[in-house]
């Protein structure tokens, strides 16, 4: 029987997605586990696989089209049925309430900043009602074949209907730009993104420029928009509080040098961040109140530590997760974290490596930052900001001496964590870092 492929919910905040590129055409054979499309979520672009083998009978969504979660994307003829007959039946279904396909330029714009990751398939068999967890969200949404997607038109003051691309329409709404006053440079006079960004009204003169001054309007990418929404919601809904502690890492720096000398034949060089990650994992096991998530009504504490590591990429910020870090030695932490960060920057992470974190660290030490605070990554209840290790004058035995110091700042959710609990966590972490041998036993 035919198998439906629907838009999965690949993140907690995802309500719709867009087909960036179809990797299979109608009439082509597809094997189970073979990639069929690149789908843009609110955080990344995932290469989607099919659980079912057969022939692609119908591609329902067009490239660039936004589709609600749970709506139909494609149908695979898995048995002896005729793919052409399957496509005819699909065409008779009710069309989905989704945006029309974007122009070629807009589809290209989707692909350029995309984070493409190999993700598990989230497809289901509608004919049997079988749901493949955890990504599938079921069926029942309205559907529409790609060949019958209606164009979007905008009616001007004179009653004329003018075609407007979805992206251009969204940018115009965000920038409060009147579409009536724009010339369309797309096919048939269609208003496209560049028309809105250039702001060239049909009747109004260009705004005056001061000397050689220029401005650049940069629309938010889907990833940047997701970051903005998530962090805004975090600051608005989570009562953050912050506690900082200064840590003497002089002995830690010396231990790092000694261990790196021993590891030189293996071409492994430990960083201070590796020791921090090891110490954080150990401290979280002793203070599980911070190794937790909160959904608004229930607190979930974890006995395993899955550490999120904030990584800057050209289009924003991504937080890959180093799973079960509490079971790793320093050498494995270095190897696994380097691999994870490199693949994050190369846009080759899987969905599993982007989810499931129980606590996060944000390290700006390599930038020389003296101290900073970080925003909690919900549903987690804490995040640690790691600043630079630097020489500072400190008092030791009533003498002012130069020591290598580091400031750590914990951001915690006051709905879940109390000030004393956070302080105890930082005290434990400080002890582990100032007596690094304790992390090795």
Residues 166, 320: Cα–Cα separation, whole Å: 31
* Chain segment 105-150, per-residue pLDDT in tens: 455 544 443 333 333 333 333 333 333 333 332 343 333 333 333 3
Distance of CA 433 to the CA centre of its chain: 31
CB atoms within 10 A of CB 238: 21
Judged against a pLDDT cut of 90, whether residue 304 lies above it is answered with: yes
Give the mean pLDDT of 290-299. Answer: 96
Domains of the chain by residue range: 3-148, 153-198, 238-440
Phi/psi for 109 (5° steps) reads -65, -30
Query: In the prediction, which pLDDT does 336 show?
Result: 95
Q: 248 Cβ partners below 8 Å, 6+ apart?
A: 394, 403, 404, 405, 434
Mean pLDDT score of the chain: 80
- pLDDT of res. 423: 98
Q: Which residue has the higher pLDDT, 159 or 126?
A: 159
Q: By mean pLDDT, which of 189-193, 290-294, 407-411, 424-428 is the weakest?
A: 189-193
Give the pLDDT of residue 354: 85
pLDDT-derived band at 44 (thresholds 50, 70, 90) equals low
- pLDDT single digits (tens) 5-32: 888 776 666 778 888 889 999 999 999 8
Q: CATH top-level class for 3-148?
A: mainly beta
Section 159-173 average pLDDT:
69
DSSP-assigned letter for residue 207: P
Using CB atoms within 10 A of its CB, is residue 142 exposed (0-12), middle (13-18) or buried (19+)? middle
Q: For residues 265-290, give the mean pLDDT.
A: 97
CA-CA distance, 333 to 349, in Å (whole number)? 17
Q: How much is the pLDDT for 96? A: 46
pLDDT band at residue 183 using 50, 70 and 90 as cut-offs: confident
Average pLDDT over residues 301-318: 91
Average pLDDT (67-75) is 88
pLDDT digits (tens, 9 = 90+) for 219-276: 887 778 888 888 999 999 999 999 999 999 999 999 999 999 999 999 999 999 999 9
- pLDDT score for 170: 74
- The answer to whether the CB of 76 falls within 8 A of the CB of 55 is yes
Res 98: pLDDT: 45
Contacts of 244 (CB under 8 A, 6+ apart): 371, 407, 408, 409, 410
Q: Tens digit of pLDDT for each residue in 194-231?
A: 777 776 444 344 455 566 778 888 888 777 888 888 89
pLDDT at 7: 86
Whether 440 has a pLDDT exceeding 50, the answer reads: yes
Mean local confidence (pLDDT), 343-366: 88
Query: CATH top-level class for 238-440?
Result: alpha beta
Task: Identify any residues that bridge with 359 across adjacent strands, giving them in sequence order.
Answer: 307
Q: Which residues are catalytic?
A: 414
Judge if the upstream peptide bond of residue 379 is cis by omega within 30 degrees of 0. Answer: yes
pLDDT at residue number 162: 59
Kindly state the DSSP code that residue 51 receives in the 8-state scheme.
Answer: S
pTM of the model: 0.63
Q: Find the mean pLDDT for residues 156-175.
A: 66
Number of H-type helices and E-type strands within the chain = 9, 21
* 190 three-class SS: coil
Residues 365-395: tens digit of each pLDDT: 999 999 999 999 999 999 999 999 999 999 9
| 334 or 353: which leads in pLDDT | 334
Q: Apex CA 326: angle with CA 325 and CA 327, to 5°? A: 90
Correct CATH for 153-198 of 3.40.50.20, 4.10.320.10, 2.100.10.30, 2.60.40.10: 4.10.320.10
């Amino acid at each position: 029987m035919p198998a439906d492929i629907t838009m999965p919910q690949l993140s907690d905040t995802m309500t719709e997605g867009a087909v960036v590129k179809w990797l299979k055409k109608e009439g082509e054979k597809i094997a189970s586990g073979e990639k069929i499309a690149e789908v843009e979520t609110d955080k990344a672009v995932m290469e989607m696989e099919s659980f079912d083998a057969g022939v692609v009978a119908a591609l329902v969504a067009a490239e660039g089209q936004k589709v609600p979660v749970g709506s139909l994307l494609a149908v695979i003829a898995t048995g002896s049925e005729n793919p052409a007959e399957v496509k005819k039946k699909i065409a008779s279904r009710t069309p989905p309430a989704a945006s029309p396909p974007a122009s070629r330029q807009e589809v290209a714009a989707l692909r350029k900043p995309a984070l493409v990751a190999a993700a598990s398939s989230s497809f289901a068999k509608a004919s049997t009602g079988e749901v493949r967890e955890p990504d599938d969200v079921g069926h029942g949404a309205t559907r529409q074949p790609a060949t019958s997607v209606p164009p979007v038109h905008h009616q001007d003051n004179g009653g004329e209907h003018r075609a407007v691309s979805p992206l251009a329409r969204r940018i115009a709404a965000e920038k409060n730009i009147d579409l009536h006053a724009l010339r369309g440079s797309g096919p048939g006079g269609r208003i496209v993104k560049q028309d809105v960004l250039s702001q060239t009204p049909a009747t109004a003169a260009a705004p005056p420029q001061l000397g050689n001054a220029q401005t650049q309007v940069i629309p938010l990418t889907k990833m940047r928009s997701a970051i903005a929404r998530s962090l805004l919601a975090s600051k608005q809904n989570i009562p953050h509080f912050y506690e900082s502690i200064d840590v003497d890492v002089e002995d830690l720096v010396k231990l790092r040098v000694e261990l790196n000398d021993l590891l030189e034949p293996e071409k492994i060089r430990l960083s201070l961040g590796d020791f921090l990650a090891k110490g954080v994992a150990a401290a979280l096991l002793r203070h599980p109140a911070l190794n937790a998530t909160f959904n608004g009504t229930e607190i979930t504490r974890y006995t395993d530590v899955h550490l999120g590591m904030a990584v800057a990429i050209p289009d924003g910020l991504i937080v890959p997760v180093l799973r079960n870090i509490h079971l790793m030695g320093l050498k494995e932490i270095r190897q696994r974290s380097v691999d994870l960060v490199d693949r994050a920057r190369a846009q080759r992470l899987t969905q599993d490596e982007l989810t499931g974190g129980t606590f996060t660290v944000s390290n700006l030490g390599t930038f020389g930052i003296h101290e900073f605070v970080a925003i909690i990554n919900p549903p987690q209840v804490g995040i640690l900001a790691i600043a630079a290790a630097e020489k500072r004058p400190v008092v030791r035995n009533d003498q002012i001496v130069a020591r290598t110091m580091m400031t750590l700042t914990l951001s915690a959710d006051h709905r879940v964590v109390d000030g004393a609990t956070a302080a105890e966590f930082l005290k434990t972490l400080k002890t582990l870092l100032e007596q690094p041998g304790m992390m090795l036993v």
